[in-house]
Structure 1
Amino acid sequence: MDVVLEIVDTYIGDYIYAWAHPAHPTSYEFLNNNSNSTELFSSSWQYKTANPYFEVTPSKYAYMSAWDRDNVYRQAISLYLITWIFGFLLYFIFATLSYVFVFDKNTKNHPKYLKDQMRLEILQTNKSMPGMALLTTPCFLAEVRGYTKLYSTPADGPGLWYEILQYPIFIVFTDALIYLIHRGLHHPSVYKYLHKPHHKWIMPTPYASHAFHPVDGFAQSLPYHIFPLLFPLNKFASVFLFIFVNFWTIMIHDGEYVADSPVINGAACHTMHHLYFNYNYGQYTTFWDRLGNSYRKPDANLFQKEQKMSEAQWKKQVEETEKMVKEVEGVDDRSYDPHESKKKN
């Protein structure tokens, strides 16, 4: 995250902080100063790139704020805004692409599809993103300030062999912790307060992928931040994995059942979780669900286009879903879109 912060500081942050909290007593005089000299400013900060592959040379404005780039308050504010804004853009762009090119629009005809569901999913995400970003900021701040085992180049890590091995280790570790956390969120004493907002979407669209209660969303992301505290991780791999995790979260909510696999926890497996609640808690694989006796194999018909959206399949899903809603939530307070008024897509 320090590389991302450096780029954002160079092109945006330095200018904003130089204007908002200037080092020179004459707050606006420096804006008309055409000199590249930094002698008028008291900053003791010295530029040292966080990126070993290419530098983004800072402008004079990097030295013109009372809060230099190493200031913990500035870093915290910047990381919060990056996490919030970049996270939302990542979500909205990928979810929209998934909705346009992947999502089966016939899902909107399902009896358990909610009235104005997509709007509500996006609204829930918008409400939760600031809170999730706030909770995530200390984790990224710890990374930037050197409290993790992130490293810059293969030469700084355990060895070239680890550059490949870190990815499966990350997947196995986070998959195990997410399973435990996700299953814990279904405990009756926790579910109705934290996890219920995400289970509002019985037949989710890609926009439901980040529509969580903010504490729920952060709790399920926590394993990603614990990993570099315990294990070495290339900082560029860390950024890639952050994007991948968000992309995967969208894919398992896209309603396109491709991965008919006993190993991969794909969209079909995760749809079983949204329909029937107490199954398929895993993120990437079915291993922990099998071990924890919570795996439910998706119906074979879900992988047949005609059968997937058949009235018989939907009737079966509705009957069992209503039993599970009554068992888990008691009263169903959702507002469904009347089936007869839905338009065929």
Structure 2
Amino acid sequence: MDVVLKNADDYLFESLYNKVLPTNVFDNRTSSLTADLAMTPWTPDNPYRQSLTLFLILCFGGWIFYLVSAWLSYTFSFDHEVMKHPKFLKNQVRQEIECAMSAVPGLAILTVPWFVGEIKGYSMLYDGTPQTMYEWCYLIGTVPFFLFITDMGIYWIHRLLHHPLIYKSLHKLHHKWIVPTPFASIAFHPIDGYLQSTPYHIYAFLIPMHKWLYLAMFILVNVWTVLIHDGNYFSHSDIINTTAHHTVHHLYFNYNYGQYFTFWDKLGGSHRQPTAEQYDAALRNNKKVWAAQSKDADTIELEDENKALKYKKH
């Protein structure tokens, strides 16, 4: 993020801050925060300024990336026929967008400290061009390793979010969309989204990774999040956690918690392979199938509510 921050400062924020925040803006030391700011020059390496800039980048960048990527997927890939499903809510697309847009600022606030830590040099991210065969092999090898390790973290966090004592207050909002569109990709409670993003941030502070590759993977993560909600079932993989697998997760709740692979679901006993309901176009939009899915979803939701009540009693 240091390169992103520097370019943002050079091309936008330096001049913006000079216009909006004159040098004497912090002269009135009415609080400890303004006192700290007054004693610290409002320069590009000021941590308060870096935090504010990163927040603005994450907010506006997040909104733009979300709207553009979800719209592209919704327009060119999403099967609009499923919007006739009985579990598709009235004005659902609008609700998904409103939920996602309102979640971004909270998610940005929680994420900023991680990026500030990276910029201050506390992470394991490194720079430079690999010079040896070993360095190139390590660079390439970090891609599957990054996906495998972060997938493990997301699996267990996602599964924990489905625990009856936590589910209703955090993760249930995202499962409001039983038949999701690409606009549901980040339509969740901001703390829910943040918790599922922590494996990516923790990874950068524990395992060496090239910063440009890390940035590329971070973008890929967000693209993948949109794709698994787009209703396009071109892949029938038993290894990759495809859109079909995630569709099963939204329909039947307690399966397929993984982000990229089915490995951890198989290991944890929560894997459910998609069937012709997802892969066969005729069955996918069959009203009898939809009715059965709706009945199953209602039954599972009621069972989960009963489990939550039992946990609270004990």
Q: Is this a same-fold pair by TM over 0.5?
A: yes
1:226 corresponds to 2:202: yes
> 2 CA distance for matches of 1:205 and 1:329?
25
Shift of 1:156: 8.7
Secondary structure of the equivalent of 1:126?
A: helix
The one-letter amino acid paired with 1:10 is D
1:207 corresponds to 2:175: no
1:30-62 residue CA offsets vs partner (Å, 9 max, x unmatched):
xxxxxxxxxxxxxxxxxxxxxxxxxxxxxxxxx
Aligned to 2:125: 150
Aligned to 1:48: none
> 2 CA distance for matches of 1:322 and 1:296?
18
Q: In the TM superposition, what are the counterparts of 1:196-275 in structure 2 within 5 Å?
A: 196-275=172-251
> 1 CA distance for matches of 2:275 and 2:22?
62
Q: In the TM superposition, what are the counterparts of 1:1-345 in structure 2 within 5 Å?
A: 1-23=1-23, 66-155=41-130, 159-329=135-305
Identity of aligned residues (%): 47
> 1 CA distance for matches of 2:105 and 2:131?
34
Shift of 1:301: 3.7
Q: 1:122/1:329 Cα in 2 relative to 1: closer, same or farther (>3 Å)? A: farther
Shift of 1:24: 7.7
Supply the RMSD in Å over aligned alpha carbons.
Answer: 1.8
The one-letter amino acid paired with 2:87 is K
> 1 CA distance for matches of 2:48 and 2:278?
51
The one-letter amino acid paired with 2:195 is A
* Residues 221-230 or 319-328, more deviating: 319-328
Gaps of at least 5 residues in structure 2 are 26-39, 307-314
The one-letter amino acid paired with 1:20 is V
Matched-pair contact (CA < 8 Å) for 1:302–1:308? yes
Provide TM-score, normalisation by structure 1: 0.81
Matched-pair contact (CA < 8 Å) for 1:122–1:211? yes
The one-letter amino acid paired with 2:75 is V
Secondary structure of the equivalent of 1:154?
A: coil
> 2 CA distance for matches of 1:159 and 1:299?
43
Matched-pair contact (CA < 8 Å) for 1:280–1:296? yes
> 2 CA distance for matches of 1:150 and 1:156?
17
Q: 1:120/1:156 Cα in 2 relative to 1: closer, same or farther (>3 Å)? A: farther
Q: How many pairs align? A: 292
Matched-pair contact (CA < 8 Å) for 2:276–2:283? no
> 2 CA distance for matches of 1:156 and 1:279?
44
Matched-pair contact (CA < 8 Å) for 1:110–1:314? yes
Matched-pair contact (CA < 8 Å) for 1:183–1:281? yes
Matched-pair contact (CA < 8 Å) for 2:227–2:243? yes
> 1 CA distance for matches of 2:210 and 2:235?
29
* Residues 66-75 or 198-207, more deviating: 66-75
> 2 CA distance for matches of 1:292 and 1:110?
31
The one-letter amino acid paired with 2:127 is S
> 2 CA distance for matches of 1:153 and 1:172?
25
Matched-pair contact (CA < 8 Å) for 2:240–2:262? yes
Which one has the bigger helix percentage?
A: 2
> 2 CA distance for matches of 1:156 and 1:139?
29
Shift of 1:23: 4.1
The one-letter amino acid paired with 2:161 is L
